[in-house]
Every structure is written in C-alpha cells, then in structure tokens.
Amino acid sequence: MNTTGVIANSELERIREMAYACTRCGACREKYSGDMTHTPAFRVCPVREHNGGFEHHCARGKLQIAQGILEGRCAYSPELIDLIYSDPDCKLCTWVCNALPVLDPPMVWRAMRQDIVAAGSGPPPPLKEIDTRVREQHNVFGARTDRRAKWAQGLDLPGRGELLYFAGCYASYPQAGIARSTVAILRQAGLDPAYLADGEWCCGVAQFHDGSTALAEQAAKHNVELIASSGAKRVVTSCAECYKSLKLEYPDILGELPFEVVHVSEILADMLGAGKISLKAGLPERRVTFHDPCHLGRYCKVYEPPRAVIGAIPGVELVEMKRHRDYAWCCGNGAELVSSMQPELASEIARGRMEEAGETGAQALITACPRCVLSLERAARGMKVYDLTVAVARSMGLEV
Amino acid sequence: MAHHPLYSDLCQIAGSKYVADSDFAVWAYAKDSSAYPARVPGIVVRPNTAEEVSEIVKLANQHKVPIVPRGGGTQFGGWPPGEPGKSICVDMTRMRRILDVNELNKTVTVEAGVTCAELEARLLPKGLYAHTVFSPADSVTIGGMVCGVFGGGGQMFAGLASNWPTIVGVKAVLPNGEVIETGTRTNPHAKMFFRSAVGPDLAGLFIGSMGIFGIITEVTLDLFYWQPHREVGAVAYKYERLDDAYQAIVKLGMHEPKLFSLCILFGLGPLAQTDWQLLYRAQGHSREELDRKLETTARIIEDTAPPDAWQPADAVGYATEFLLHGHDFPPHTLGMWTIMEFLCPRDNTLEIFKALSELIVEELRGWEDRVLSGGCSMFMCGEQHYLSFGLYHKESDPEAREKALSVSQKGNILGLEMGGFKLVLNKEGGDICAAMMPPAYSNWLRALKKAMDPNNIMNPHMLLLP
C-alpha cells in the first residue's frame, strides 16, 4: 500500500462520534425530498455524479472511510488524500441528511484535512500553491498586495467609519465591478462605507477548508484587528465565501467579534424595504433565475434577501431552478477545493448548473458571490450571468 | 498498489471510470445499513447494461471469483460476505433508466438501479404509481427491492401491502452469464405484460432471492392509476394498554371496504414505559367522503374498547412523531438502527408482539443507557400485520453494537418460532431463517443453487448455502 507519512488523526478523533453517526441510509446519494409528491428525485453530490458514481465519492462512503481510518482499516494513500480534497464542502449532503448537530459530513472531511496537513502530507500541490500565495501575498491569485485596492481608485473611500466594505480577493482583483457597484449602491443610499485598502487580507476560506488552519487563523486575526481599528460596527461583504468566513469561522476561533457582519444582499433588501434606494430600470433580460451560493445559503441561511432584491427590479420575473435554496446545486468552485483539485470536474458541475438554469427559460442568471459568477460565467454558453450588485447598480442607473 | 487480478478485464467491459479497487473505495462498499460486520469486496464495478453484467458474470465464472450484487446498500440483515478481499461487487445503481411506461397495459419497466423514490417521482406527474417500498425510498433500488427487500412494505399513498403480487416479471443474468426474461416474455414475440407464463413461475426464483440465482437487470411492475385525493385527514388515539389498541387495529383491518390509507399502532421510547398510539389516516375525493370515513373510523375505535381505555390525541403531532422516528429512516440522533421485522398472521400478531417486547425489555436490563429500545410499530399490511422493533446504539460503542445484535438475533429466532415471517434478510438475517428450514426444503434449495451456479460465484454463503 502506498501510504504517506504517519498521520495522527487527532482532529478526526476529536469528532469521532460524528464520524460514526452515519446510519448509512444513503440520502446523501440522492434525495426525493420530504414532500412526497412534487419534488423530482435528484442526485445530491456533484462530485459523485461526475466521478463514476462510486460510494467513496458520496458522504456515506466517505464517512465509512473515516471510520476505516480510525479503526486502522484504511490508510491515507495519495489517492485517498486527493479524494478527501476533491469535495466542494457544499453542504448539500448535510442538508439532506438532516442530522445537525449530530452529523455534518463536511466537518469530518475538514478534520481529516487538518490531520493530513498536521502530518505534512497535505494539502495537495494545487492547494498548497494557493496557501503560499495567501501566506505571501494575502490573496488567492498571488497578485501584488499593493494592487489590492486598485478597484477603489478614484472613489476616495475613507479608512475609518461605522460601516466597512470587505471586498475579498475576487472583487478586489478580477471582478472589480462588483466592488465598485457595491460602493456605488451604498453611497446612493446615503451611506459612507470605509474599506481596508491594501491592508485587507484574503478571508482564508480556502485554508479553513483545506486544513491549513494556522494560516486561516492568521488571516482571521489580521482582518479582525484591522476592522476593529477602523471603528467599524458593521461589515458588509459582497462575497458569499468572505461572508461565511467572517460570520461563522472567525467567531468560532476568535470568539464574539466587535462588529456585525452582513451580506450585501441583506443590506440591499433592508434598504429597499426602508425606501432608501429605488430600482428604476429593468435589465435587458426579462426572465432571470437565481443561483444560491452554498456559503450564503446552506451555510448562513440567507435565502430571501437576494430574492427580495431581484423581485424589486422593474420588469424582471424571477423563476426558480428545480434545485434552489437548501437544495441548490454547487457552482463547482467549492472554496477553491474542486476548482483547484479537479478543474475539469468544476467546469462540469458549473455546466450542469447552467443547463438547469437554461431549463427555466431564464435569459440571465443572478447570483450573489463573485466566485460563483466566475464559475458560472465560464459555463454560461450565451446566458448572461450577473452578480446581484452589478444587476442592482444597473437597475439604479449607477455608473461604476 | 497492485490492482485486483480482474481489474483490466473489468475496465474493458465497463470502462475504467466505472471500476474501482483501491482499499478505501472497496471499504466504502463493505457494509449495509445494519450494525453487522464489514465484508470488504476486492473490486467494485458499475455496469451500464445487461450485456455488461453478462460479461462480468462470464468473467467471474471463468476465474471462479464470487460476485456480490448491490443496489442501494440499505439492507439491515448484514452485508453478504462473498469472498473478502476478492469478490466483485456489482453496483447496479448506474443502470437507472425507466424503459417503458405502458399506460395501456398498465405496466412499467425499469432498470434495476432505479430508486423507488425516482420511479415514484417520474410516475406521479402522469397520474400513475407502482408499489414500491416506502423507506428509505431515496436509496432502495427496484432491483434491490425485488431480490432483497422481500417484497417491501408497500407504498404510502395506497395503503400498505405486499409488493409481490404486483411484480410482473424480471430480466436477469443467470450465473452462467445468459440473459433471461420471465413471464410473458417467455414468448419472444410478446411484451412483458403478465406474470404467468408457460410452465412454473420462474420469476419467483429471483424475488426475495438476495441475488443467489442471478442478477436482476430489469423489472416490470404493475402500474396503477393514482387519483389525486383532494382531502386527507387523520385520527389518533392514545392507549395505556396494548390489548385495547390491538383490538381497534383488528376491527379496522376487518372493515370492508377499507377506510384507511395508513393505519399504524406504534410506541416510542423505552418499551417498558410506552403509551400506545394509534394513527389512522384516510383520504377522500371530497370533504364529505373523508368525513364519512373518519367518522366511521372513530366509531369503530370508540366502540371497541371501554371509554376509559383510550383518549383522542393530536393526529398531526402523532404523524410528525412517527415520521420523525420511524418512517423516514431512523434519525441519526438516536444512533444505528438494528431492526426486527416480521409479517404476522392476524391470529397471533399480538402474542408475537408481546413476547418480543418482553424479551427486549428483559435482555436490555442494565443496558438502557447504551441500547435504546425505542420505536416499535404494527402496520396494517394487506390482511396481515407487519411488526417492527428498533434498537438504537452508538456505532462508536462496539459493546453496545454486539448487545444490540445479540438481542436482535434472539428476537428474530423467537419471532420465527412463534410463527412470524421475517422480512429483513441478507446475510445474518437470512441465516436465521435458513436454519429453520425443513431439511427437504433446504436440500432442494441447495440442489437448485448447485445446478444453476456450479462454480458458486453468485452471492455465495447466503441462506447457509456453501
């Protein structure tokens, strides 16, 4: 057996009860839903669907493997390590399993990855490269740190203020339009968002998931200290992954934060409700569908605010995909895990999602995460893909 | 890592994407949903067609390597052993096409890997349904249901009933690799539209066989019209004494025409302390029809026992509680499920039920914290009763697991000795039943197996066979 170095399993041991909580019912393979009459059966795990459909690619099989590791029946071969890393942690299996807090399968994979990293046997090279970029340049692209705030050029954003916009890597570098749209909308509502400029670091989402916990903690401490020193009482993110990091991961390791974290969709819905902004124009596409980012939806349970916002765009009809809200299919990125480990698989997952979007008859897809936008845009085949902020800015007639 | 000796051949047959033999991949196929021990195959293959299955079987025969077929992997009777580390596990879940929905002949033909839930989801929009198992419908495949789940429990909408009479026929790969079809397909010019055929009903060789005589690749089931019921309602009663509750369920079962779509007597929590809860669900095309059924039901129930024996209860609450605890698969919060299930004739159901309850309470004395005797139920199942007892334990507690399995084994033997008929088979469950077979019957079974499968490759060591 081609095994790696000795792996202590200390994190997996710590959640041993969870690894053994699976009753092997198989709902994580496909799901019919509690509504016995109207929801079509669907496959749960995008990775299993695209990798030959074997048990070891679904939660039930992987939990069995985790037990095998604890019992000494399985060993961490390079092939198994690749498997443990080729999961988007999209949490759809958690949702259909419906056994929280007793069982949350991605927590088990995360523990396994932490053990692999602690033993020096991971993460695999594509993710190690991302870790290196984050460690050295504080962004997932390895781009120059002093270019991080280039998106804000000419906006004259303050460094201090009660409301702070945390742009994240994607909106800071390749998708600056999202950051500029967010700021423009907030300003239109009479708010004056501050930002961290070049001091902002990657939120550490990939490191939280790939087992490089020390690096993730370093990012968390840095960002929280900087945000706190800015005087911010409220932090808004336009990225679902940043939102989940700040909202769930940071308090988990640092305790209660001295500021509130909101996703831009939540603040937009509130502002619309309060009449602080108004959407004037429609989009070129009349029929649109919404893709729930996993980190915004299943992780943080933010489902209605983006829909309320889309519903307020004049002349736009929102049509749901077959799998939406808790049941939404992943975009393929999965905290950089799948897109790094199996890029072709990530593309296939995204193509599947866009096909589903196409089945609704929608002419455009709106989502609320720059990373989802990127994944889905590449698979779009003619369908327009918007970030929510871009669509809203357009509807408000804002020049960004 | 060295590959399984048949790795390349199997890749030639099914494609390398659908063959796996790494230690972790086969480990993921080592158990069913029970607490019985793991049995690790040597390699897993996921064929796409009956022809591929046939080629796999021929290859296995040539090399005398055992085959263990697998559907949804949710049996409760212990995973078949095959030959640990060597067997070919044939995962049938890739064969999941619905081949023919024939509304004129009222039959549906599906590949073996279609799940009960998917079939239901595809049929209901057409106003149709077929009898399948109701839990865990998300995982149980039609092939698994026919050859392994022993007929299943029936389909919720139509009331519970045995599935066996609604199986029209099967297409199967025999242990020698030949592909056969049963029923009216014994006339090669005919469709599969009727179970009876020239000669004996050989479909029965495969139904409930756990794959010892071949691998089912297609199943044809009777199709029924599903008339949407506009009104659904329920009544529920709480009893202190099991005898009183049982009399009510018998009276309701004897009533013609049947008034219910679901009738279940159940107790939750430790057996020694449980209240008995009777949930009765009815459907009607109109409010009047539903009200009439519910009123008749209430009258029968209330006339069956003295007024101090029962009290009306919250039907919605009961339904929710039952669904949470039993129907929709055991909740993970309670732990691993070890189940004893029996089909019982009406005339001694109550005795079996009581004897099993007493045995479980007695056996678990001192273990109450580690093995929970939660969840027992009695369904109407056609004209019979279907009993189910669940024991829960933490999978991470090996001693509790052994205790649960030991109690289950004793309970299964007791239930059989009292005239019940066991429904959950597979390895250990099947062995208990096979040990009670009259010698002439087991010799006949052994002779059949030897004649059909001389190399003993097809799911060996089941039912105490070699």
Convert the pLDDT of each residue in B191-225 to its tens digit. 999 998 788 999 999 988 899 999 999 999 999 88
Q: Is the residue at B120 inside a domain?
A: yes
Mean pLDDT of all residues in B114-125: 85
CA–CA distance, B335 with B332 (Å, rounded to integer): 5
- C-beta atoms of B38 and A31 within 8 A: no
Question: Out of A27, A40, A55, whose CB is closest to B29?
Answer: A55
- Measured between beta carbons, the chain A residues lying within 8 angstroms of B396 are 16-17, 19-20
For the stretch A122-167, pLDDT in tens is: 999 999 999 999 999 999 999 999 999 999 999 999 999 999 999 9
Could B46 and A53 be called an inter-chain contact, meaning their C-beta atoms sit closer than 8 Å? yes
Pick from B225, B249, B278: which residue ends a domain?
B225
pLDDT of residue B271: 61
- Cβ pairs A/B, distance under 8 A: 141
Q: Whose CA is closest to B47, among B77, B7, B84, B13?
A: B13
Instruction: Sort out which chain A residues have CB atoms less than 8 A from B38's CB and list them.
Output: 73
Contacts of B93 in chain A (CB under 8 A): 29, 53
Q: In chain B, what residues touch A61 (CB-CB under 8 Å)?
A: 28-29
pLDDT of residue A306: 98
pLDDT at residue number B320: 66
Lowest mean pLDDT among A87-101, A351-365, B151-165: B151-165
State the first-to-last Cα distance of chain B, in angstroms, to the nearest integer: 31
Q: Which of A24, A36, A41 sits opposite B33 (nearest CB)?
A: A24
Mean pLDDT of A299-314: 98
Calpha distance A360→A372 (Å, rounded): 19
Domain boundary among B207, B225, B243: B225
- If pLDDT is split at 50, 70 and 90, which confidence band does B184 have? very high
Write the DSSP string, B81-123: -SSTTTPEEEEGGG---EEEEETTTTEEEEETT-BHHHHHHHH
CA-nearest of B288, B304, B291 to B237 is B304
Please give the radius of gyration of chain A, using alpha carbons only, rounded to the nearest integer: 21
Find the CB nearest A31 among B72, B93, B138: B138
- Number of compact structural domains in chain B: 4
Mutating which of A25, A81, A96, A103 best tests the B interface, going by the most B Cβ atoms within 10 A?
A25
Q: What does each C-alpha distance from B294 to B5, B235, B301 come to in angstroms?
A: 63, 7, 10
- Residue B32 near residue B78 (C-beta atoms within 8 A): yes
What residue ranges do the domains of chain A occupy?
Answer: 10-121, 126-271, 277-395
What is residue B270's predicted lDDT score, i.e. its pLDDT?
A: 61
Residue B157 above 50 pLDDT? Answer: no
Res A32: pLDDT: 67
Alpha helices in B178-286 (DSSP H): 242-254
Distance CA A252, CA A245 (A): 10
Q: How far is B333 from chain A (nearest CA, A)?
A: 6
3-state secondary structure of B144: helix
Which are the contacts of B315, defined by CB distance < 8 A and separation ≥ 6?
Answer: B233, B234, B235, B236, B279, B281
Q: Judge whether residue B180 has pLDDT over 60.
A: yes
Q: Which one of B24, B34, B75, B92 would you mutate to disrupt binding with A, by most A Cβ within 10 Å of its Cβ?
A: B24
Q: Residue B116: is it exposed, middle or buried by C-beta count within 10 angstroms (0-12/13-18/19+)? A: buried
Model confidence band, residue B442 (pLDDT cutoffs 50, 70, 90): very high
Q: Are residues B213 and B300 in the same domain?
A: no
Please write the tens of the pLDDT for every residue from B56-92.
999 999 999 999 999 999 888 899 999 999 999 999 9
Query: What confidence tier does A37 reach under pLDDT thresholds 50, 70, 90?
Result: very low
- In this predicted structure, the answer to whether residue A34 has a pLDDT above a threshold of 70 is no
Q: Which of B136, B333, B394 has the CB atom closest to A20's CB atom? A: B394
Name residues whose C-beta falls within 8 Å of residue B358's C-beta, 6 or more positions apart in sequence: none
B184 to chain A nearest CA, in Å?
31
Q: Do B409 and B263 lie in a common domain? A: yes
Question: Contact B91/A64, CB-based, under 8 Å?
Answer: no
CB A241 within 8 A of CB A220: no
Domain covering A126-271, topology = Glutathione S-transferase Yfyf (Class Pi); Chain A, domain 2 (1.20.1050)
A26: left (phi over 0), alpha (psi -120 to 50) or beta: left
Residue pair B33/A25 in contact (Cβ under 8 Å)? The answer is: yes
Phi-psi region of B76 (alpha: psi -120 to 50; beta: other; left: phi over 0): alpha
Residues 155-194 of B with CB under 8 A from A: 156-157
* Residue A34, min C-alpha distance to chain B (Å): 9
3-state secondary structure chain A: CCCCCCCCCHHHHHCHHHHCCCCCCCCCCEECCCCCCCCCCEECCHHHHHCCCCHHHCHHHHHHHHHHHHCCCCCCCHHHHHHHHCCCCCCHHHHHHCCCCCCCHHHHHHHHHHHHHHCCCCCCHHHHHHHHHHHHHCCCCCCCHHHHHHHHCCCCCCCCCCEEEECHHHHHCCCHHHHHHHHHHHHHCCCCCECCHHHCCCCCHHHHHHCCHHHHHHHHHHHHHHHHHCCCCEEEECCHHHHHHHHHHHHHHHCCCCCEEEEHHHHHHHHHHCCCCCCCCCCCCCEEEEECCCCCCCCCCCCHHHHHHHHCCCCCEECCCCCCHHHCCCCCCCCCHHHHHCHHHHHHHHHHHHHHHHHCCCCEEEECCHHHHHHHHHCCCCCEEEEHHHHHHHHCCCCC
My answer on whether B151 and B87 are in the same domain is no
Contacts of B118 in chain A (CB under 8 A): 30, 32, 41
Instruction: Kindly report the average pLDDT of chain A as a whole number.
Output: 93
A26 with B31: Cβ contact below 8 A: no
Q: What's the CATH code of the domain at B400?
A: 3.40.462.40
Q: Does B1 fall in a domain?
A: no
Q: Is the dihedral of CA A154, A160, A163, A167 positive or negative?
A: positive
Residues of A in contact with B229 (CB under 8 A): none
Element housing B56 (H / E) = helix B50-63
pLDDT of B156 > 60? The answer is: no
Residues B186 and B116 in one domain: yes
Residues B270 and B414 occupy one common structural domain: yes
CATH number for the domain harbouring residue B44: 3.30.43.10
**Is the pLDDT reported for residue B104 higher than 60?**
yes
Percent of chain B, pLDDT > 70? 90
Give residue-wise pLDDT tens across range A241-258: 999 999 999 999 999 999
Q: State whether B22 and A23 contact (CB < 8 Å).
A: no
For testing contact with chain B, the best of A16, A22, A23 (most B CBs within 10 A) = A23
ipTM metric: 0.91
Q: Chain A residues with CB inside 8 Å of B124's CB? A: 37
Residue A263: its pLDDT value, please? 98
- Tell me what the mean pLDDT of segment B133-151 comes to: 77
B91 touches chain A (CB under 8 A): yes
Please provide residue B331's backbone torsions phi and psi, each rounded to the nearest 5 degrees.
-70, 140
Q: Which of A42, A55, A64, A93 is the best mutation test for B, with the most CBs of B within 10 A?
A: A55
Residues B41 and B106 in one domain: no
Supply the DSSP symbol for B32: -
Residues 117-156 of B with CB under 8 A from A: 117-118, 120-122, 124, 136-139, 156
pLDDT, position B165: 81
CB-nearest to A52 from B46, B157, B329 is B46
The pLDDT of residue B277 is 82
Selection from A368-382, B129-143, B186-200, B323-337 with the highest mean pLDDT: A368-382
How many Å lie between the alpha carbon of B32 and the closest alpha carbon of chain A?
Answer: 7
Q: What are phi and psi of B312, to 5 degrees?
A: -60, 150
Residue among A32, A79, A80 whose CB faces B121 most closely: A32
Task: Show the 3-state SS of B405-453.
Answer: HHHHHHHHHHHHHCCCEECCCHHHHHHHHHHCCCHHHHHHHHHHHHHHC
Assess whether B102 and B52 both reside in one domain.
Answer: no
**Contact across the interface for B28 and A56, Cβ inside 8 Å:** yes
User: Which pLDDT does position A178 carry in this prediction?
Assistant: 98
Looking at residue B323, what is its pLDDT? Answer: 58
Residue B2 within any structural domain of the chain:
no
Q: Give the residue with greater pLDDT, B47 vs A4.
A: B47
Q: How many CB atoms lie within 10 A of CB A17?
A: 14
Quote the mean pLDDT of chain B. 87
Strands B107-111 and B98-102: antiparallel
The residue with tokens 């022809």 is B51
Instruction: Kindly determine whether residue A75 and residue B23, on different chains, have CB atoms separated by under 8 Å.
Output: yes
Which pLDDT tens digit goes with each residue over A44-81?
Answer: 888 887 889 999 999 999 999 999 999 999 999 999 99
Which of A154-168, A273-287, B257-271 is the least confident region? B257-271
Which chain A residues have a beta carbon less than 8 Å from that of B25? 54-56
Length of chain B: 466
Q: Which of B210, B225, B240 is the last residue of a domain?
A: B225
The Cα A299–Cα A241 span in angstroms is 10
Burial of B423 (0-12, 13-18, 19+ CB in 10 A): buried
pLDDT of residue B269: 61
**Residues B235 and B301 sit within 8 Å (Cβ to Cβ):** yes
Alpha carbon distance B144, B337 (integer Å): 19
Q: What would the mean pLDDT of B445-450 be, rounded to a whole number?
A: 97
Facing residue for A26 by CB, picked from B1, B73, B122? B73
Say yes or no: B180 and B54 in one domain: no
For chain A, say whether B214 makes contact (Cβ under 8 Å).
no
C-beta atoms of B18 and A25 within 8 A: no
**Closest CA in chain A for residue B14:** A52
Contact A88, A332 (CB under 8 A): yes
Judge: A27–B138 Cβ closer than 8 Å, yes or no: yes
Comparing A231-235, B260-264, B451-455, the range with the smallest average pLDDT is B260-264
Chain A CB within 8 Å of residue B337 CB: yes
User: Which pLDDT value is given to residue B162?
Assistant: 63
CB contact burial B86-98 (16+ within 10 A = b; e otherwise) = bbbbbbbbbbbee
Quote the domain boundaries for residue B173.
Answer: 95-225
* B178 and B208 co-located in one domain: yes
State how far residue A338 is from chain B, nearest Cα, in angstroms: 18
Dihedral-angle region of residue A275 (phi above 0 means left; psi in -120 to 50 means alpha; beta otherwise): left
Give the residue from chain B lying closest to A73, CA to CA: B27
As a whole number of angstroms, the distance between CA B284 and CA B64 comes to 57
* Chain position carrying tokens 């009459």: A37
Give the model's confidence band at B159: pLDDT under 50 very low, under 70 low, under 90 confident, else very high.
very low
What pLDDT is attached to residue B116?
Answer: 86
From the CA of B159, how many Å to the nearest CA of chain A? 14
More reliable by pLDDT, A320 or A25: A320
Q: Which of B46, B329, B396 sits opposite A16 (nearest CB)?
A: B396
What does CATH list as the number for A277-395?
3.40.50.1860
Helix (H, G, I), strand (E, B) or coil at B167: strand
Residues 1-60 of B with CB under 8 A from A: 1, 17-18, 20, 22-25, 27-33, 38, 44, 46
Sign of CA dihedral A257, A258, A260, A263: negative
Q: If you measure CA to CA, which chain B residue comes closest to A38?
A: B121
Question: What confidence tens digit (pLDDT) does each residue in B408-421 have?
Answer: 999 999 999 999 98
- Could you tell me the two tokens for B113? 């890997």
Q: Are B117 and B135 in contact (CB under 8 A)?
A: no
Residue B339, helix vs strand vs coil: strand
CB neighbours of residue A225 within 10 Å: 12
Closest to B457 measured CA to CA, from B64, B38, B121: B64
Amino acid at B215: I
Task: Kindly give the pairing relationship between strand A234-237 and strand A163-166.
Answer: parallel
For residues B234 and B301, is the Cβ–Cβ distance under 8 A?
Answer: no
Structure tokens at A173: 């570098």
B181: Cβ–Cβ under 8 A, 6 or more apart, which residues? Answer: B169, B170, B171, B172, B192, B218
A19 interaction partners in chain B (CB closer than 8 Å): 396
Q: What is the pLDDT of residue A39?
A: 46
Residues B101 and B77 in one domain: no
If one compares B154 and A81, the residue with the highest pLDDT of the two is A81
Residue with tokens 């129907």: B327
Is B88 in the same domain as B103?
no
Instruction: Tell me, yes or no, whether B364 and B435 share the same domain.
Output: no
Distance CA A346, CA A375 (A): 8
